[in-house]
Every structure is written in C-alpha cells, then in structure tokens.
C-alpha cells in the first residue's frame, strides 16, 4: 500500500492545482493522484438542488459510454450517493448508504450497471458550497470489498483535502457559476436583507432613515438586476447567490 502523503506533499498538490487554468487540467490532476493511491476510477459531480432544472455536471475517469448511459437514464435523480452526500460532511463508503436509506429498485439497477464497467466498490467526499451548490467527489474500483475499504480508510483524509481543493479551484474557474447577475449597491443589499427578514417598506424606511418612495426605487432596481418579480423572489435569488445571509 502506498504511504500516506505528508502535509508538504498535500500543500504541493494544492499549489499545482492553483496553476491549473482549465477544468480538464484540474480533473486530470486529481484523477491521476487518485490512480496513484490505488483508485482506478474517480468522478466529480456538481449539482444545484435549489435549481433542479439546471443540468448536473459530471467530470470523471469512468468509461464515456457509462457516463452517457447514466445521464440518458437520468440516474442522477435516483443515485443514493448524492442523497447521502447532501446530509453528510465527512467522507463515506458506499457500503454505509444502505444503513441509512432503503435501497430502491432503481438504485439496484444503477449498482448493476456500474459493476459492468468495473465500479464494484466506491466511496465519496461530500462538498457543500459556495452558496447553495453541492458537489460529490467519488473514488471507485473493482477491488475486493475488504481491500477497497482498507485502502479508502487509509487515504480518506488526503482524498478529502485534495477533493475540496480541486472543487475550490473549479469554482474559481467559473464552473459553478449560476446565471450572471449585476452587483447590488450597498444600500440595495441592505434593503433586500431586510425584505428577506420580513420587514415592510415602512419598517425598512424607519430603520434606514429613508422614505417609502426611495425604498420602492431601490426595490425596482433590485428586481431589474436580479431578474425578480417580487420581494420574496428577489430575496431568494440574493440568498442563492450569497449576496445576503438572512
């Protein structure tokens, strides 16, 4: 079994990530390191639970035919790995999923199809943010169960750090961008913050020392910038984009 990386090794990897200037370079660097650790396959899955209409992004060393089949069959909506990851913060083995959730017929089909391309055992790192994005990084292979579990347990902390670093780099490269919006002024940000907390125009005016008509003008500008139709809609968009924390 390959020895664990030192903190200097991990720091060096993160520095190399910072030198990657496109998505493929980040994923290739990460997947190659996982292969060095003994994990034949790896996958990065990015999704937006607050925007179910937005297609998931899957970047992986899995066979291309399997990825196409996975997406064509809409397996992402049934995959228990994503559901488990949404409610977890630490790396987990796929073996533990059945201890929390009943395995559905559709999930059994996913497992069966995965095994046909050498994905017999797996483990994942849940990643939350920035804002309301969710990501999952998984390692997988066809090692015997006991051997895979031992390998993952041995390297799980390094996998966690490297996956989180890669996710951060991907976000900096713009992979997780939602639809672009125009920035709000500091006053507009204050106004929409108080709207999100349930205050009326009059209450906001009293708190900020401005007239109702001024509040209305700020709100119209906010609607235009965020593409919103009303106050609650604008507040929701502002929260999703990390503009405010209610």
- Candidates 3.40.1180.10, 3.50.30.30, 3.40.50.300, 1.10.10.10; correct CATH number of 186-240? 1.10.10.10
Q: Where are the domains of the chain?
A: 7-172, 186-240
Note down pLDDT in tens along the chain; length 246 residues: 678 888 899 999 999 999 998 888 999 999 999 999 999 999 999 987 767 666 778 899 998 888 888 888 888 788 889 889 988 999 999 999 988 888 888 888 998 889 888 899 999 999 998 877 899 999 999 999 999 999 999 999 999 999 999 999 998 887 876 566 789 999 999 999 999 888 999 999 999 999 999 999 999 999 999 888 888 888 877 876 778 887
CATH 3.40.50.720 fits domain 7-172: no
Judge if 7-172 and 186-240 fold alike in CATH terms. no
Q: Could you tell me the pTM of the whole model?
A: 0.73
Give the chain as a DSSP string: -PPPPPHHHHHHHHHHHHT--SHHHHHHHHHHHHHHHT-SEEEEEEE-TT-TTSPPEEEESS-HHHHHHHHHTTGGGT-HHHHHHHT--S-EEGGGHHHHSPPPHHHHHHHHHHHTTT--EEEEEEEE-STT-EEEEEEEE-S-HHHHHHHHHHHHHHHHHHHHHHHHHHHHTTTT--S--PPPPHHHHHHHHHHHTT--HHHHHHHHT--HHHHHHHHHHHHHHHT-SSHHHHHHHHHHTTS---
Query: Which of 134, 109, 136, 115 has the alpha carbon at shortest distance from 125?
Result: 136
């Amino acid at each position: 079994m390959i020895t664990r990386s030192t903190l200097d090794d991990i720091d060096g990897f993160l520095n190399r990530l910072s030198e990657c200037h496109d998505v493929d370079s980040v994923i290739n660097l990460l997947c190659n390191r996982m292969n060095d650790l003994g994990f034949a396959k790896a996958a990065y899955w990015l999704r937006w639970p607050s925007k179910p209409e937005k297609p998931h992004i899957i970047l992986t060393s899995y066979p291309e035919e399997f990825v196409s089949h996975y997406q064509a069959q809409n397996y992402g909506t049934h995959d228990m790995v994503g559901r488990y990851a949404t409610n977890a913060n630490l790396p987990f083995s796929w073996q533990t999923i059945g201890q929390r959730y009943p395995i559905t017929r559709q999930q059994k089909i996913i497992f069966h199809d995965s095994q046909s391309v050498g994905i017999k055992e797996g483990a994942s790192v849940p990643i939350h943010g920035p804002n309301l994005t969710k990501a999952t990084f998984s390692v997988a292979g066809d090692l015997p169960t006991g051997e895979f579990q031992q390998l993952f347990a041995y390297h799980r902390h390094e996998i966690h750090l490297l996956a989180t670093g890669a996710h951060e780099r991907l976000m900096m490269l713009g992979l997780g961008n939602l639809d672009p919006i125009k920035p709000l002024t500091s006053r507009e940000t204050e106004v929409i913050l108080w709207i999100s907390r349930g205050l009326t125009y009059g209450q906001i005016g009293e708190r900020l020392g401005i007239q109702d008509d001024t509040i209305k003008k700020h709100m119209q500008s906010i609607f235009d910038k965020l593409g919103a139709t009303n106050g609650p809609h604008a507040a929701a968009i502002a929260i999703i984009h990390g503009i405010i924390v209610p």
